[in-house]
Chain A
Amino acid sequence: MASEYLGGYMGKMLRVDLSRGVLTEEKLDSEKVEKYLGGVGLGSAVLWDEVPGRIGPFDPENRLTFTSGPFSGTAIPGSGTYSVVTKGPLTGFAAGSQANGWFGARLKFAGYDGIIIHGASSNPVYLLINDGKAELCDASHLIGVDTVETQRILKNKLGLPKASVACIGPAGENRVRFACICSDHGHVAATNGVGAVMGSKKLKAVVVNGSHKIPVANSESFSATAREWITAMRSSAIGDTVDKLGTAGFFSAAAITGWLPVKNMTTNIFEDHPRFNGDAIRAGVKSTRKPCHACPLHHCNDIEITEGPLRGLTADEPEYEGLAGFGPLIGNSDPWRAIKLCDQVDRLGMDLKECSFTLALAIECYERGLIDEKDTQGMELTWGNVDVIEKLLNLTAEKRDFGANLAEGVYRLAEKIGPQAVNSAVYTHKGLAPHVHDPRGLWGFLFGQAISNMGSIEGWHTLELLPEPDLGYDQPIPKYENPKALVIAQAKLAEKYYFVDSSGICYFTSSIPISLMVNALNALTGWNWTAADLLCHGRRVQTKLRLFNIRHGWTREHDTLSPRLMAPSPDGPNAGIAIAPVYEQMVDDHYAQLGWDKKGHPLPETLKLLNIEE
């Protein structure tokens, strides 16, 4: 590695002390950059350095970082990505969440690689960074305003139509534990309540705008590599489907293979899936392409519904997870109403994963008589009752009536209702909902969420479905047959995808050979990384986050799953299959693979190997 970066970085961070209203520029720490790169890696290093164990998620001294990566804002496709890292209020451990769009690119165009926010303002403010100048501005007029309107109002008021605005909605202001941060209309840093932390600091929005150029060490080589990247990405399995149908193009495939969550996972069968698949959705809407920075895929679109009672409704084109969460998971078989719910949740500023699993649990509890109309203030909380769900979403964002219980997330709601609810809830033991799938038949994917440090998943996709030749897997790993092989594969995937999450690119454009990523990084920065360096970086970030979590009370017991996720699927293609009998051995194998002891603590020799100082 070089001792100083030549390209890919603006060279400075902005530190914002909201308690004192003081903004300071800091030179980007080159040693940290070489070890942690950017994005979630750099954010995790800041978190480790600045947030001791006594600090709670809503303590003013908790840090909230917005970080770009070296690729952000460059010619690499899908490089508008940024990461938000903080101590999350759902788990009480590290939260790391990515949002795509343009914000990550425009943060660098504004002159900074990242923002470190601490303290709490006494009155609502927003942070404006315009071409190297940063200031805090009054945001009183934006209190209670939804995320879409907040973005529109600020861009109009400031006369900056090409700015990116990352903001919270009413849910973040009210510290709903799964409040998110929205930017570039429908791009969301969603997981583990990052928006609630922002709300606790009375920071309504961050606006970035500018025209700074990003330095490139070897322009010719970098441009050539970026073109190769685009070709490789477009021909990948993921890129092809996402380009043609959006992520909803996976909907029917998920239903047929048993990966679709239905009615809080009480069944695995959903016969209406063709109506939700990307081809049916795109046939029923008028689309306007709205690509992320430098992305050639036809993935992100503004849509207008052109059929049925909701004709004329405009929204962001929903992703698979939104359609699944507000469709089959809550017993709703009308895709257009699911789209409307997705839009409502985005506007209120809530994570649709946690929100939909929490609602699904509440509905199941109502249907089974564990709660009744006295608890819900007279609302009939039955499967697919979308009228009631619409009201409940508003109450949740306001933390009012039964919505105040929902605002705590699925794990805390279950504990409040009682043991039968705990047995029915879908969550990881750290206290948050998984991605909107039924992963009980895909153990690699399920395990990746169970042992994740950030609350999301380490190593996004599942090697039970997709090959990963770069990591030595020319064919998918057969399901159920060899749990240890899945554990080893998941660890390798995590190494790759921690790099992706640290480099400022979208998951959907990163399905390319590692060698190409390394070539691009070296041409951009002037470094001399190898594929082994890339994977070592991923392991280092993963281990650093584990150390942070240990400092904040993590134990092996947190690396587990709710009873329902441990139980077998009741029906469908994975009927009778359960991870429970092999789970503890998988955890043992995982720790051994990573050089951690039986308690899940990294061994001294592992820290030395990864060049991590405790």
Chain B
Amino acid sequence: MSKITIHFLQPIASYLGFHKPGGFKLEAEVNAPGPLRNAIASLRVNGLNILQQLQSERIKIMVTINGLIKHAGLEADVQDGDEVSILPLIGGG
């Protein structure tokens, strides 16, 4: 098994029950290479299934792997040691 790190930034983290600034990080084991979806399919935080929450219509996310935007989102392939960020969609400023 391989390991990846996933960083859930705010406000995405708040949908998973983490309200502190900075969101939260977790490590996940994956059969790499493989889609991010598989890596998080069985993960739960605060009693919530992460995958189900992220697929909710109210949550709009952007996925980066090692800083690169992945429009494939949860279907993007991850490798051992990857650093994944789950971000809000950028909408200007």
Contacts and interface: CB of A to CB of B under 8 A. Distances in A.
* A and B: interacting chains: yes
Contact of B21 (A236, A238, A241, A274): A274
B93 A437 contact: yes
A238 B89 CA distance: 7
A324 B90 CA distance: 15
B60 to A, nearest CB: 4
Contacts of A466: 89-91
Interface in B13-33: 14, 20-23
Contact of B91 (A280, A319, A436, A461): A461
A235 B59 CA distance: 8
B62 interface: yes
Interface string A252-284: 111011110000000000000010011110110
A257 B93 CA distance: 15
Interface in B73-92: 85, 87-92
A490 to B, nearest CB: 15
Given A240-B11, A277-B21, A573-B67, A511 B91 contact: yes
A283 B57 CA distance: 27
B86 to A, nearest CB: 10
Interface size class of B (residues with CB under 8 A): 20 to 34
Contact of A274 (B22, B67, B69): B22
A245 B11 contact: yes
A476 interface: yes
B68 A460 contact: no
Interface string A593-612: 00000000000000000000
A513 interface: no
Given A257-B90, A478-B71, A573-B67, A249 B60 contact: no
A466 B57 CA distance: 15
A122 interface: no
B84 to A, nearest CB: 11
Interface string A205-248: 00000000000000000000000000000011110111011011
Contacts of B92: 238, 247, 250, 320, 460-461, 507-508
A582 interface: no
Interface string A549-582: 0000000000000000000000011000000000
Interface string B46-59: 00000000000111
B71 A249 contact: no
Nearest to A239: B91
A236 B58 CA distance: 8
Contacts of A385: none
Interface in A453-477: 460-461, 464-466, 475-476
B93 A320 contact: yes
B90 to A, nearest CB: 5
